Amino acid sequence: MSKIIKKQIKRSMPVLLICLLINFTAVGLLFNVKFNINLASFSNLTTRWWSEASADTASSTVTVKNAAPAFTVNPAESPVSSSTSPVNVGGTLSFTATADDPENNSYYLTVCSTNSATPGAGGGQPTCGGVQFCVSPLTGDTAQATCSYSNVADPGAESRAWYAFVCDNHGSEPACSSANQGSGDSGTPFYINHAPAFTVLTTTSDNKDPGGAFTVTASSTDADVQGGADTLTLSVCSTNSWATSTGCAATTLCTGTSTGPNISCQFNTAIPTAHGAQSYYGFVKDWHEMPSAANSRTSTYTTNNVAPTVANITLNNGAAINPNIKNAPNRVVWATSTSVTDNNGCGDVLGATSTFYMSNAAGGANCAANDNNCYRVAAGNCYISDCTGGSDTIATVACTASLAFHSVPTTASGTNPYAAYNWITAINAYDDTTTGSATSSGVELNVTSALEVTELTIPYGLLQAGQNTGASNATTTVVNFGNSPLDSDLVGTWMTKAPDVIPENNQHFNLTNFTFPAGTAISSTTPQTAAINIARPTSATDLTSPVYWGMSIPAMTPSGDYAGVNTFTAVFFGTGNWN
């Protein structure tokens, strides 16, 4: 404004001077004042004013604004996403770019969902008009900037456009470049991979024996189609622990792949495997290592309870059985199986029962208990051993039976009608619901012949020398103590009262009452058979036969008490009564 005023004053000077001269002249005439004017000086003055008024100067001004940085290296995704290599939802995608700023300012790289970016006030970080995927730290001029989009969101679509900007940090006039979307696969858009859906996990082929094949099926789908249908992988684990990179933390039961809506895989259980339901866990991922959000799902497979199998049974170590005689302890006989196998584990075998029986017994191993031909052995007399647990499937079972003296013999003795048969044993091993059985090879049960005489003495009573018992008989009772028909041989000794004797043959015996001297005389050297023909016993009830005795006292025999011994020997009567 001061320059303009100055110019106006210069232009008005001649007029001012003329006015002043006129005024001064007038004043001089009025008041007779005399002015001396130097016209030369005045002339110089007016010339100078006119010269200054005819030419002048003006200064120029301009304001230069801050310029935005420019991309020197286009923005690019790192790693590059594509339809066949997308970034997973929830994953991380980085962007890189290089920019040059005219004033060498540092800059920010920002990536936006729309073509809109605003520089930050005071040189701070810029913002986006839409979603700001990422913004880099402040980066030096011409250096590469990097920003990362963490926890990539799910927009629903499989790709998303992006716009990159570089904005400087100018303190008063920050500026952003135009948008740049890169080029090629590393340029916009970025591709997004979605997690597969996983709804159901089930055992579609279930209830198998140990070692059987189970099939597991996962109902799983993947909606992504860009780059082709995703291949989905199912992992079935024994525990609820799995990672996309390493798989099952414990045992991997099976894995399967599919591009369809269902994925199946198959596994075989081990032998042994305990019966019942076992849990497993399923995990699904796609071919981009994206796990399903529904992981993990659990289900069960059921291993059947299988019956124990019994083998290698021996009865009495394979040897013939020798029963004890009556009134002796019963013969304890063992039956052993060294191979009781349970594929659920030998520890699954809870116990065993057994039957010792003659091969012709009605019902076989299910025969009715009878001390002649069928012994039912309860679990308390069967013993399990040699099972170590763990992976052991085989145990040993031993059972005992206590055989009565009259158990039916099966040897080919005399006319034994049971010689075509033998004795066998069945062992039944059981778990909580099932039973396995097997039988041994047959062994013979031997014939026994034994007797007992009930009376301790043969009381002939009081006789005089030269007399005999006549029709008055002493009686002895023979009891069959064996398991076969019985006769008896008899021998006797002289009856003595030292130094006097009564010869043994003065004693006679008979199987019925008799009158001496009838009957059979006994000998001390030659056994005499008493054909008592006692039948084979079938119970503990005594089967007996009497033997009647009479004797004579030689004449001149001194008086006194005479004693001797008559011996009864059991004789197998093979053609007797076998019942």
- Does 327 lie in the same domain as 292? no
pTM of the entire structure? 0.71
- Does 214 lie in the same domain as 130? no
In this structure, is residue 428 part of a structural domain? yes
Beta strands in 404-446 (DSSP E): 423-430, 435-439
- Does 143 lie in the same domain as 99? yes
Give the residue from 243, 270, 303 where a domain finishes.
303
- Does 268 lie in the same domain as 158? no
Q: What does residue 398 show for φ and ψ, rounded to 5 degrees?
A: -130, 135
Give the residue from 303, 335, 356 where a domain finishes.
303
- Does 285 lie in the same domain as 327? no
- Does 566 lie in the same domain as 488? yes
Give the structural domain span for 8: 2-53
- Does 88 lie in the same domain as 36? no
> What tokens were used for 263?
């994925």
- Does 332 lie in the same domain as 223? no
pLDDT for res 273:
96
Q: Of 111, 124, 178, nearest to 150 (Cα)?
A: 111
- Does 416 lie in the same domain as 460? no
- How many domains, the chain? 5
CB 353 within 8 A of CB 382: yes
Phi-psi category of residue 317: left, alpha or beta, with phi > 0 → left and psi -120 to 50 → alpha: left
Q: Of 342, 217, 210, nearest to 268 (Cα)?
A: 210
- Does 83 lie in the same domain as 42? no
Give the residue from 259, 286, 303 where a domain finishes.
303
- CATH number, domain of 84, equals 2.60.40.10
C-alpha radius of gyration, the chain, whole number: 64
Residue 282's SS3 state is strand
- Does 286 lie in the same domain as 236? yes
- Does 289 lie in the same domain as 341? no
Beta strands in 176-275 (DSSP E): 190-193, 197-205, 213-221, 232-237, 242-243, 247-248, 252-258, 262-268
pLDDT for res 55:
75
The mean pLDDT values, 10 residues at a time, for the chain of 579 residues are 37 39 36 39 46 74 92 97 94 97 97 97 95 98 98 93 97 96 96 96 98 97 90 97 96 96 96 96 96 96 97 97 97 97 96 98 97 97 95 97 98 97 98 95 98 96 96 97 98 96 97 98 97 97 98 96 97 95
In this structure, is residue 63 part of a structural domain? no
- CATH number, domain of 547, equals 2.60.40
